[in-house]
Amino acid sequence: NTPTDWKETPEAHVFIADLPGLKKEEVKVEIDEEGVLQISGERINVDKDDKNDKWHRVERCRGKFFRRFRLPENARTDEIKASMENGVLVVTIPKQELKKPEKKLIKIEG
């Protein structure tokens, strides 16, 4: 899994994901029709295996990855911004004010 922090500020939901060694072209940020944020990509093993090499430990993650987060109702999914610098992805989703249901007196007929 990709380590990801999610913080909420008064203005936005901010996701910060560590993606060391990846370029922004190798990462995809999507919102589906159900309001789920998905961060995905693939870490490709660029090390050439040489028959003379002897590996003592392989700990770095390789292969496809994805993280999914269900966004709250106040997320403005039409105004998402994403940036990536030094292997750190930052996705900012502004918040909108949700109207609280108004108290309403219902007349009883009959």
Structure confidence at residue 18 (pLDDT): 93
Q: Does domain 4-94 bear CATH number 2.60.40.790? A: yes
Q: Which residue has the higher pLDDT, 59 or 85?
A: 85
Structure confidence at residue 8 (pLDDT): 95
**E strand or H helix at 14:** strand 12-18
Decide: 29 and 81 in contact? Cβ < 8 Å: no
Each residue of 7-56: pLDDT tens digit?
999 999 999 999 988 999 999 999 998 999 999 998 876 566 677 888 88
Is the pLDDT at 110 greater than 70, yes or no?
yes
Question: DSSP code of 91?
Answer: E
Structure confidence at residue 74 (pLDDT): 92
Decide: 6 and 69 in contact? Cβ < 8 Å: yes
Count, residues in the chain: 110
Nearest Cα to Cα of residue 29 among 75, 83, 96 = 83
- From CA 1, how far away is CA 57, in angstroms rounded? 19
How much is the average pLDDT of 47-74?
83
CA max distance for the chain: 92
